[in-house]
Chain A
Amino acid sequence: MIAFLRLLSRNRLALAGGIVMLCVVLLALIAPLLPLADPDVTNTAHRFKTPFTEGALLGTDHLGRDLLARLLWGTRLSLMVGFAAAMIAATIGAAIGIIAGYFGGRTDNLIMRGVDMLMAFPYILLALAIVAALGPGLFNALIAVATVNIPFFARNIRGVTVGIAHREFVDAARLSGMSDARIILTEILPNVVPVIVIAMSTTIGWMILETAGLSFLGLGSQPPQADLGSMLGEARSALITNPYTSVVPGVMILIIVMAINLLGDGVRDALDPRLKSGALSRPMAATLVNRTGPVPEPKGNGLLEVQDLETQFHVKNRVYKAIDGVSLHVKPGECLGIIGESGSGKSVTALSVMGLVASPPGVITGGAVRYDGTDLIGAPYKHLREMRGKNVAYIFQDPLATLHPLYKVGDQLIEAIRSHYSISSAEGRKKAIDLLRAVRIPNPEKRISDYPHEMSGGMRQRVGIAMALANDPDIIIADEPTTALDVTVQAQILALLDDLRKTRGLAIVFITHDFGVVAQLCDRVAVMYAGRIVEEGPTKAILDAPMHPYTARLMACVPELGEGKRRLEAIPGLPPVVDNLPTGCAFAERCHKSQTACRGSDIALVFDTGRAVRCLFPDNPNAEAAQ
């Protein structure tokens, strides 16, 4: 709640709207306590007194009634009717929407077609018809305005409910023995309330306006009772001679509706989870760089060399050290595996290379990324953009998320090629077909005009690989490219990547959590834990004789096919959170070998004949000698 108010107050316009609204509501509330003239007493002797005359601050109307008193009492009435109509419309509309969305099928069809019919009438006509049937009067006008707005709520809420009703927690509630009514009340409703509030905050101003409209036509409040609409209606005949009688209620309506709408927009922005998560703040084109320390000297290791890279996420006052001093290198034709659990920093490492970490909140705070010797950190965006795809290309986990759903895969491929080379679209098409053939998509001439959803997961990932290959990069960074795929498809994709590396001399950085995949594809492997590399070396050596206890125990956790039913090794505890890392070894907490020295000070990554380990008491210390 406090967070909500803070978010709301950050929006200046909403804050202004809120303050104005608060004043208006306060004035309306205390109207009976103020020393006002009786709003309904006529005094024809004093008709059409201009504003600021003695005894009538805002003047009097055609019957000599005090306009200030009528305005405040009228505002009170209009606000009450508006809020009441909004509450009624929201309650009934939400109920209809939830029922239609939850039960679905025929119930949904029947209800929503009824709502559609209601919506098909012009709203004012419908309101007029309702008032005509029920007779004029403020209460009937309220019913009419509420009825007219029910469809809006019903449709909105139904949409949201359909999404929630298919969530797993609703199924779980059903299995807990809850009845439909209880599920609706305790599982669905709490998740829908924010949407109801948003919908209400944006429509309440509109409803006040509609009520005023009906009163203006003489169908709402009946004389002598004043509301803003009827005041306008009565002033109509004196519009030319005494314009202030119309201006006074008109300005009030303007103020109320403006204030409510500004406030409503603010409430919507503050409550909408998508906007809250920062959808409005677009990330920058390249990750923010704020290097304080010196830039490491080039060592000339491989084509891509990552040196002491530090990337952090700055969220409010917290600093998440996503990666802290990561060094890697990869040569042409070589495959480097990065293995680790979620949150270990393996993806952030990969994204930092081309400045693809979203900023804010991401900041690269140290180290260097050298492509063929030149540092890319802090390089101008134009240069980075030139290199993305052409020198270093990415393959991501979920090709359904990285391919645009509304464009044909061929067009997306051609676009990728043409963003680096100016070639005709016919040439582009030819090249795209070649690429699809290279990733072994059967019948590429036909598949090129498929949309992403028309392809299977494996085919889509092949398109993802084709797109990475489009501009003949030297390095491909593959971030869990087979995690979302079935095993039979995974085997095909891995074989394809291995093939491409051999035939094209590609350097591959392969990020995964699967030791089996690493063993089959990678020459070298780096194991990451809590943002740091804990062990690195040739794949076979590490898999045969892991030196870091984390590597050893992680490998023991993974069941291997062909060993039968058994109890698995588990690592107790959880990885540390990277905004509050312990001093010393981050794994000490979970390690069976940890000693006091492990928690003392920073532990360095020690290199020894092709292998490196960050541990004071490594396993298999003589692994080198033994080989």
Chain B
Amino acid sequence: MTAALELTDLSKTFPVSRNLLGRTTASVKAVHPVSLEVSRGETLGIVGESGCGKSTLARMLVGLLEPTTGTIKIQGDALDTSDAAKFGKRIQYVFQDPISSLNPRKTIRQIMEAPLKQLHRMPRAQRNARIADIFTSVNLREEFLDRYPHEFSGGQAQRIAVARALAADAKILILDEPVSALDVSVQAQVLNLLADLKAQLGLTYLFISHDLAVVEAVSDRVAVLYFGSVVEIGEASDVFRAPRHPYTKLLADSAPVVGRKLAAPESWETELPDPLNPPQGCAFAARCPLASDLCRSTVPRLDENGGVLVACHHPLD
């Protein structure tokens, strides 16, 4: 079976400064070449801290950013990465901040109709029926359709945003921190809704979050991102329970957990590497208790190690 989503060596470099002739003189590698496969019906979680490149990766996947290198294949077909409109029917995106992802001057109906009209050229009667269907499936009342976005709470607005993504009828959804702006009681409602929709409609999710517990609860597999590279991919149940990469272990140890004593898991001096002046070897070496000279000189490759893929010269057992 072909994978629902397949990325090969996808990377993004942003120019930071240019000389007078418009030639790039300095650049930042936001995403180092990443290759990933997501199979149909799977939820792949992507975790990482701010600045690790997870949103850049997501925006490339839906065509909002053109990748510097690499290809994206959806169900085996390569996508033209320079045209956002071509992505719409195949892959959709749910944004972090539900309120700002809805145009404040449009009614919910106008927002919902856009993908049906523009992507599917549906006539009016059919559009109304489809919107009614989708609204039932995300537990929203149809009377909401004639209201404006500011009248909704965060949880409702996020459900509207999910509904809009569903309207495009794409089988793959990129969920970029879909619940970080929501309260915990509402967060659970939205996560459960997403799980139900996935089962009903046979969707494939790429779930991006900084919250390890949330990612673990919703994902089949998890990829850990650090400084623009995947450092570990494995089954969700294993990745945090038995981390192989020292960074994954640091993340798992840092998450506040009821019943664990408070302790700073690493020394006080640590700071993230400077993207303008990246380290030569492993990006995590400066923070890593196991770092050796090899780590500081050579970038580790992502290799199979006990059922998971790890990019580390000295993986943990």
Q: Determine if B97 and A168 form an interchain contact, defined as CB atoms under 8 angstroms apart.
A: yes
Instruction: Pull 17 A–B residue pairs with CB atoms less than 8 Å apart, ordered by A.
Output: A167-B100, A169-B100, A191-B103, A341-B186, A488-B49, A488-B251, A488-B270, A491-B253, A491-B256, A494-B256, A513-B184, A553-B185, A558-B213, A561-B257, A563-B216, A568-B217, A570-B192
| Contact (Cβ within 8 A) B95 A574 | no
Q: Is the CB of A574 within 8 A of B265?
A: no
Q: For A514, what are the chain B residues with a Cβ–Cβ distance below 8 Å? A: 256
Which residues of chain A are within 8 angstroms of B220 by Cβ–Cβ distance? 565
Do B119 and A491 have beta carbons less than 8 Å apart? no
- The answer to whether B254 touches A490 (Cβ under 8 A) is yes
- Whether B264 pairs with A574 at a CB distance below 8 angstroms is no
Cα A175 to Cα B95 with chains together (Å): 12
Given contacts A168-B95, A487-B251, A561-B257, contact A173 B103 (CB under 8 A): yes
Tally of chain A residues near chain B (CB < 8 A): 64
Which 8 pairs across A and B sit closest by C-beta, in order of nearness? Answer: A516-B256, A177-B118, A570-B188, A495-B264, A486-B49, A177-B119, A520-B262, A176-B114
> Do A177 and B258 contact each other (CB < 8 Å), given the known contacts A486-B50, A567-B195?
no
Assuming the contacts A492-B264, A516-B257, A543-B258, asked whether A574 and B102 have C-beta atoms less than 8 A apart, the reply is no
Instruction: Mark contacts of B98-136 with chain A using CB atoms, 8 A cut-off: 1 yes-contact digit, 0 otherwise.
Output: 001111111000000011001100000000000000000
Task: State whether B103 touches A175 (Cβ < 8 A).
Answer: no
Give per-residue flags for A187-219: 1 if the beta carbon is below 8 A from chain B beta carbons, else 0. Answer: 100110000000000000000000000000000
Most buried by A among B187, B220, B256, B260: B256
- Contact A176–B164 (Cβ < 8 Å): yes
Interface residue A87 (Cβ < 8 Å from any Cβ of B) = no
Which residue of the partner chain B has the closest CB to A497? Answer: B262
Contact A561 B240 (CB under 8 A): yes
Q: Considering only CB atoms, which chain A residue lies closest to B139 in the complex?
A: A572
The dominant DSSP class at the B interface is loop
Across-interface contacts of A563 in B (CB, < 8 A): 216-217
Interface membership of A178, Cβ < 8 A = yes
Across the interface, which residues of A come within 8 angstroms of B254, CB to CB?
487-488, 490-491
* Given A191-B103, A558-B184, A560-B258, CB of A176 within 8 Å of CB of B217: no
Q: Which residues of B contact A172 (CB under 8 A)?
A: 93, 95, 101-102, 161, 164
| Residues of chain B within 8 A of A191, CB atoms compared | 103-105
Interface size of B by CB at 8 A reads 77
Q: Given the complex, which residues of A lie within 8 Å of B317, measured CB to CB? A: none
Q: Are A495 and B269 in contact (CB under 8 A)?
A: no
Residues of B within 8 A of A (CB): 49-50, 59, 62-64, 84-85, 87-89, 92-93, 95-97, 100-106, 114-115, 118-119, 153, 155, 161, 164, 168, 183-189, 191-192, 195, 210, 212-214, 216-220, 236-237, 240-241, 250-266, 268-272
Smallest Cβ distance from A556 to chain B, in angstroms?
Answer: 8
Contact assessment for B217 and A513 in the assembled complex, using a CB-CB cutoff below 8 Å: no
B188 contacts which chain A residues (CB < 8 A)?
A: 557, 568-571
Residue contact B268 to A492, C-beta cutoff 8 Å: yes
Residue in A167, A174, A489 whose beta carbon sits within 8 Å of that of B85 in the complex: A174
Docked pose: A456 CA to B270 CA in angstroms = 11
Q: How far is the CA of A172 from the CA of B191 in the complex (A)?
A: 21
Other A-B pairs beyond A487-B212, A519-B260, 14, CB < 8 Å: A175-B88, A178-B114, A442-B271, A487-B49, A487-B254, A487-B255, A488-B49, A488-B251, A488-B254, A488-B266, A492-B264, A519-B256, A520-B262, A570-B191
Q: Are B101 and A561 in contact (CB under 8 A)?
A: no
Q: How far apart are B200's CB and chain A's nearest CB, in angstroms?
A: 15
A171: shortest Cβ distance to chain B, in Å?
A: 5
Q: B93 — which chain A residues lie within 8 A by C-beta?
A: 171-172, 175
A46 within 8 A of B: no
In the assembled complex, which residues on chain A have CB atoms less than 8 Å from the CB atom of B270?
Answer: 488
Q: Are A175 and B64 in contact (CB under 8 A)?
A: yes
A382 interfacial contact with B, CB 8 Å: no
